[in-house]
Structures are given as structure tokens and as C-alpha cells.
Amino acid sequence: METVSFEPVKVEAMIHSLHEKREVFVMFYDSPNRVKAVYDNKLCTAIYNTFTGLFYVDDVYGVLDTLEETSVKEREGTD
């Protein structure tokens, strides 16, 4: 099976915990059932529903990792 690689894409998706649409970043898309997306600084599993045209992000049970924000000083390595 081939993995599709692309730049992160900002899309509108249904969020499990909110039951509402929000903007997320799709980071990985291999098939409609193998999607990884970032919402609220969390890397989550997601699926794409071809009938509704929406991604569904599971930020309740599908959290893979929590992303930490770093300050500009930490990224540049200055004090």
C-alpha cells in the first residue's frame, strides 16, 4: 500500500468532544480510515467520510500525542 505524503492542510472537520465543526490540520492521509490530524495541540486519529465530505477527528479516545508549544526564544536557542 502506498502512503500519501503532503504538506499539512487546514480543513474543516467534526470534532468528537464538541459535536461541531472546527478547523484542523490534516497531517497524514493514507486512506479514508487512516488519517492523523492536529486539533487543540493534540495529534489525533481521524477518518474521512466520502459521503459527507468531512473529516471526523476523535479528540476523546484517539489522542496519539500532545504537542507542546515552545516560545520563540526556546526555538532559537537564546536566553
| 11 closest CA partner among 43, 51, 53 | 53
- pLDDT of the residue at 69: 76
Query: Is pLDDT of 26 > 90?
Result: yes
Residue spans of the domains in the chain: they are: 9-76
The cell for 8 is 499539512
pTM attached to this predicted model: 0.79
> In the chain, what percentage of residues exceed pLDDT 70?
81
Tell me: the pLDDT tens digits for 40-59? 999 999 999 999 999 999 99
